[in-house]
Amino acid sequence: MEIRVSIDREKDFEAEMTKEEAENGRDEMLIDGPEQANTVPDGFNATYLRIYYGKLFPHADIFKWMSYGNDGKHPACDKSYFGRREFSFTLENDIYIRFQSFNSVSELENSIKEKCPFKIDIGPVYSVDPAKRHAYAQSGHNVFTPVERELVFDILRFFSHQDITDYDDVRYCCTGADVCLECWPLMTVAIKVIDTALRDDFGFNHILWVYSGRRGVHCWVCDGKARRLTNEQRASIADYFRVYKGNENSNKKISLPGPVLHPFLARSYTEVLKGFFEAKLLSKQNLLASEERYEKILEMIADASVASELRGRWQENKRLSMSKEDINIARWEQLKHILQSGKQKSQGLRRCVEEIVFSFTYPRLDMEVSKHMNHLLKAPFCVHPKTG
């Protein structure tokens, strides 16, 4: 699905802003000098949000997408389908309204324009209209249950609880909610790995990737067979992608057991992760440039004598940092040579190189988002309330 915003609608937006500024007194914007006249406020702005919903938000496209052909245009369609979908609105001052439902695109559009939600979340399609769930409960029949929901993924977590901040242990350019061109490619790599597996390993075709608006990426798998998966089946698919076994206090967060990698992991490693780690991440993030940083990698090596040998070499060769050779690449090649040499008989130790690469590059998912059909997820094209 393509979302097209016409030049005319953009002009309407600008005209509306000019009108808004005039009504509010544009002269007030000139108090601190003429350079302030065209300043756009950082972050979220409720005035802009109302105009965005009125002029640019794709109400009709959202309705067409989430109807999946059940939009009343052919005799066999389920006309109640869209009306059984849950929408959740978060209003100003964190007023939370769940189980909103709409029977038409005009109802959806009018409600959004009227309430001007700071955030819109989308839930499942229920067996009955979610707005009338109490009436069904009073009838004595417990029929209110989710029956369809896109298979969704929330790629996060630069190991805290906030999207790209779950990657803060593998990047040094930014912390917290900050994202730059040096660390955003971690999200790109995650998309490549998950998208390929969803298409090649599970046979899904209708996949929408959406920037969350702050620190992460959301994936909506919209195939009919994906929407009808049970919670158990969703959990199995989510578990297919799981390789993280530790937590933020673990030296070793990745475990790759067995004599050979699973075909999905082997493909991800050879086609995406290894090249990205060695060609981009290693040098861009200076992963081995200082003692503080390389110690984090040495802690992942199970054999203390091997880690000690590398530590000794790197401490003796600090002068290498003054040479033309990238110290990160040089040290990584030394590490690979020692761990993968014929002297290392242990399969686990030779696997350590792959585990290090996976630790720094493999997608980090919020598993709970994918496992449960009734989990809410921020709507695509909805402005993020913390960033605008």
Residue 267's DSSP bridge partners are none
Write down the number of H helices and E strands in the chain: 17, 8
Task: Kindly state the tokens that stand for 263.
Answer: 């075909």
**How far from 164 is each of 157, 171, 173, 385, CA to CA, in Å?**
4, 10, 12, 17
Taking alpha carbons only, the member of 228, 220, 211, 207 closest to residue 146 is 228
Task: Kindly state the tokens that stand for 341.
Answer: 């040499």
Contacts of 295 (CB under 8 A, 6+ apart): 311
For residues 157 and 166, give the distance between their C-alpha atoms in angstroms, rounded to a whole number. 3
For residues 227 and 206, give the distance between their C-alpha atoms in angstroms, rounded to a whole number. 11
Kindly list the catalytic residues. Answer: 86, 154, 163
For residues 278 and 75, give the distance between their C-alpha atoms in angstroms, rounded to a whole number. 56
Q: How far apart are the first and last CA of the chain?
A: 24
Contacts of 177 (CB under 8 A, 6+ apart): 162, 163, 164, 165, 214, 215, 386, 387
For residues 214 and 187, give the distance between their C-alpha atoms in angstroms, rounded to a whole number. 12
| DSSP assigned state of 61 | H
